[in-house]
Amino acid sequence: MEVREYRIDVGGAILDLNTFREEYGIRTDLTQQVKVEGLDGRLTRLLKVMIPDFNVYLLETPHILRYITHPHISGESLEILLSENSSLLRKVVDRFTLQRFGRIVAAEGLIRKMGLDVPLVDDLRDLGDAVAIVIAPTEKEEVEALESRIRERGGRLRVVLFMGPLGEGDVRILGDEANSLGADSIFLAPALLGSKDSRGSLVAYGIDVGLLKLGKVVELGSVVDEVTLCRLLRDYPPGIDISGLRERMRPDLNYLRSILEDILFLLEQPVFDPWQIEILMREAKNLRRQLMKYGG
Q: Note whether 209 and 201 are within 8 A (CB).
A: yes
Question: Which residue lies nearer to other proteins by CB, 16 or 76?
Answer: 16
Distance of closest approach, residue 32 Cβ to other proteins, in angstroms: 25
Binding mask 200-229 for other proteins (x = CB under 8 A): -------x----x--x-x------------
Q: What is the DSSP string of 141-181?
A: HHHHHHHHHHHHTT-EEEEEEEES-EEHHHHHHHHHHHHHT
Q: Nearest Cα to 190, choosing from 243, 250, 141?
A: 243
Q: Is residue 16 a contact residue for other proteins (CB under 8 A)?
A: yes
Distance of closest approach, residue 269 Cβ to other proteins, in angstroms: 6
Q: Among residue numbers 18 through 77, which ones bind other proteins (CB under 8 A)?
A: 19, 22-23
- Segment lying near other proteins (by CB under 8 A), choices 8-16, 75-83, 98-106, 179-187: 8-16
Long-range contacts formed by 39-43: CB under 8 A, 24+ apart: 39/88, 39/91, 39/92
Distance of closest approach, residue 225 Cβ to other proteins, in angstroms: 23
Distance of closest approach, residue 221 Cβ to other proteins, in angstroms: 14
Phi (first) and psi of residue 10, to 5 degrees? -115, 65
The count of residues interacting with other proteins (CB under 8 A) is: 17
Phi (first) and psi of residue 220, to 5 degrees? -120, 140
Residues that bind other proteins (CB under 8 A): 7, 13-14, 16, 19, 22-23, 207, 212, 215, 217, 269-271, 273-275
